[in-house]
Chain A
Amino acid sequence: MVFKARSLSLPERSRFKVPLLPIGIALLAVAPLLLYPVFLMKLLCFGLFAAAVNLVLGYGGMVAFGHATFFGGAAYVTAHAFKEWGFGAGSGLMIGVAFALVTGFLMGLIAIRRQGFYFAMTTLALSQMAYFAFFQAPFTHAEDGIQRVPRPNFLGVISLSDNMSLYYFVVIVFLLGMLAIWRVIHSPFGASLTAIRENETRALSLGYQVNRYKLTVFVISAALSGLAGSLKVLVFQIATLTDVSWQMSGEVILMTLLGGVGTFLGPIIGAALVLTIQNYMASTAVPVTIFIGAAFIICVMLFRKGIVGEIDSFMRRERVSGWSGEEKVELQ
């Protein structure tokens, strides 16, 4: 089971270049005037989480079912650091990221030796082991979770206690996380990763020690998932078993698939879609999972590449149809 990103070589990417950063910053700046800031912060946390998973799923071509360990594990560690050790916002986030990074390295070291279905099952099994470890660990308070986590200041002076200041802090961390993902994708390493995903055997024959590249992207993805989990604690002031459960791993994959695997913005769009359904359909008599399931079925039936993936494909088709007859003959 391999998910392939829509591979566009560098010149083609630049053809459809959109000033994403200024548009994104502008939208994020005005969004809390129109929507509930806590909902927006939740969207940003899960958008970052889905984008981190997409690094492994879309760009690495590996289906990992264990990212809840990094997301939820970092949430627990950050919550404990805030509540029991009195950490500040910055250091609390960093210790969460460090936990996810180390856990990701250990999980990756074991799982990366397997491919496809076996890789997915290994990550799921390790994730379930982590789930039970968190369930048993005294500091997590089992089913109660860590509640009433304080919101510490950032750098000791910037208060994050009100939702608007916290929102802009979350926006900055989210943008830094997305910039890190952008850099990884559009780097020599990203090109290597694309090559490995496209044809692993050929990459091996050209001297690529593919497991090292896979492990590197897995660890980066785990660290960014941890950042999203730590950020979530800051917003909701709670860390629970839900964050480390296999359902969380499945849900974030669903978000990525709906938005578009292997696209930069797809996971954010997918996260927004799933969270919007959850938020606005939760009050209806029909269970919210029915709506999410229906959205997934529609996605599979009508736009398998996800929302952004389909738009991307449409633009590529337009480009090919614009070729002259001579260019088409030349390819034969």
Chain B
Amino acid sequence: MSIVLEARQVSKNFGGFHAVRNVNLRVQEGNIHALIGPNGAGKTTLFGLLTRFHSASSGSIFLKGEDITAKGPAEVALRGLCRSFQISSIFPGLTLRDNVRVALQRRYGSSHQFWLPSRVLSRFDDEAEQLLDLVGLTSLAQRLCSEVSYGRKRALEIATTLAMQPKVLLLDEPIAGMAAGDVPMIVELIRSVAKDRTVVMVEHNLSVVESLCDKVTVLVRGEVMAEGTYREIRDNPAVREAYIGAGYEV
């Protein structure tokens, strides 16, 4: 399988603090690739670098072989590299359906049309409904986002991101803050959307990582400590020590 997303010797410094240090990452097309590591390991910063929300202090990033190191986040998103955020990021004053339509109108290139009435956006309604149906939110389509629970906001964020039809989907802790009952639904959702795209996810829930991911990269203090299948990572003593300290058994 070909490499769809690649980071070469990527570093990010905030003043004297090295958040990410010489990271090499190769994500294979069609894989679900997990980034794990203790708090402060640099996972979210690396997400920010890959999606160009942060500019790299050094190193290069490639999407399908194209160097995107100098591109902005919007350009990268339009090239098919889309992300969700660690803390649910939606448009709170809009309805759930309008949230999805905002993404659809960007994808279809009609977001600049100030001379047309907004009713032209209704042509996106069917697709918006399908995406909301995918995450089980059809019945709340006309509600304002600020009025729904956190778990549903997370599901909506995934639906909105999927509206961009990304080639590579980056999910930053997709089940964080969700009620236990909602987790299986999101896990199944990730599994189904990964059938025709690549997914990179930051996740702390290792059982979710085990059930979903083809490959796992472990980051510790901004550096790649280990990479391999979940089983290989689980059996790696250095990873165990990084997670729970020396002298303990899982």
Give the interface of A toward B (CB within 8 A).
4, 6-7, 9-12, 183-184, 186-192, 194-195, 198-199, 201-210, 212-213, 216, 220, 330-332
B106 and A198 within 8 A (CB): no
Contact with A along B97-139 (1 / 0, CB 8 A): 1100111011100111111111111000000000000000001
Q: List the one stretch of B17-25, B69-77, B241-249 in contact with chain A.
A: B69-77
B1-9, B85-93, B210-218: which lies at the interface: B85-93
A216 to B111, CA, bound (A): 12
Residue pair A195, B94 in contact (C-beta under 8 Å): yes
- CB-contacts of B121-174 with A (<8 A): 121, 139-140, 142-144, 147-149, 160-161, 164
> Chain B residues near A184 (CB, 8 Å)?
114
* Subset of 16 A-B contacts with CB under 8 Å: A7-B93, A9-B144, A187-B113, A191-B98, A191-B105, A191-B118, A192-B112, A195-B94, A198-B91, A198-B94, A205-B77, A205-B82, A205-B161, A206-B160, A209-B74, A209-B75
A193: nearest residue on chain B (CB-CB)?
Answer: B114
Whether a CB of chain A sits under 8 angstroms from the CB of B78 is: yes
Kindly list chain A residues whose C-beta atoms are within 8 Å of the C-beta of B93. 4, 6-7, 194, 198
In the bound complex, what is the Cα–Cα distance between A332 and B153 (angstroms)?
A: 11
Q: Is the C-beta of B45 less than 8 angstroms from some C-beta in chain A?
A: no
Q: Are A187 and B117 in contact (CB under 8 A)?
A: yes
A9-B95, A202-B89 as given contacts; A187 in contact with B116, CB under 8 Å? yes
Nearest to B139 among chain A residues (CB) is A330
Q: Is B116 touching A199 in the complex (CB atoms < 8 A)? A: no
A-B pairs, top 7 by smallest CB distance, nearest first, are A7-B93, A189-B114, A207-B77, A198-B91, A9-B95, A192-B111, A207-B78
Given contacts A10-B98, A190-B114, A331-B143, contact A195 B91 (CB under 8 A): yes
Instruction: Give 17 new A-B contacts, CB below 8 A, not counting A206-B102, A330-B139.
Output: A7-B94, A10-B98, A11-B95, A188-B114, A189-B114, A190-B114, A192-B102, A202-B90, A204-B74, A204-B77, A205-B85, A206-B77, A206-B82, A207-B74, A207-B82, A207-B164, A212-B112
What residues on B are CB-neighbors of A11 within 8 Å? 95, 142
Q: How many residues of B contact A (CB 8 A)?
A: 49
Q: Is there an interface contact between A189 and B89, defined as CB atoms closer than 8 Å? A: no
Cβ B92 vs Cβ A188 within 8 A: no
How far does the alpha carbon of A198 sit from the alpha carbon of B102 in the complex, in Å?
12
Q: Which residues of A contact B116 (CB under 8 A)?
A: 187-188
Please indicate the chain A residues that have their CB under 8 angstroms from the CB of B83 in the complex: 205
> Using a Cβ cutoff of 8 Å, how many contacts connect chains A and B?
132
Q: Considering the complex, give the chain A residue whose CB is closest to the CB of B170.
A: A205
Residue of A nearest to B160 (CB): A206
**What CA separation (Å) do A9 and B100 show in the bound complex?**
13
Task: Flag if A201 contacts B85 (CB, 8 Å).
Answer: yes
**A206, B164: Cβ atoms closer than 8 Å:** yes
- Of all chain A residues, the one with the shortest Cβ separation from B108 is A188
Given A188-B120, A204-B77; A183-B53 close (CB under 8 Å):
no
Q: Say yes or no: A9 contacts B98, CB within 8 Å.
A: yes
- Chain B nearest CB: distance from A60 CB in Å? 12
Q: Which residue of A lies closest to B88 (CB)?
A: A202
* CB neighbours of B148 from chain A (8 A): 331
Q: How far is the CB of A103 from chain B (nearest CB, A)?
A: 20
Contacts of B94 in A (CB 8 A): 7, 9, 194-195, 198
Chain B residues contacting A194 (CB-CB under 8 Å) are 91, 93-94
Checking B106, B110, B114, B139 against A183 with a beta-carbon cut-off of 8 angstroms, the contacting residue is B114
The minimal Cβ–Cβ distance linking B217 to chain A, given in whole angstroms, is 22
Q: How far is it, in angstroms, between the C-alpha of A10 and the C-alpha of B142 when the chains are bound?
A: 10
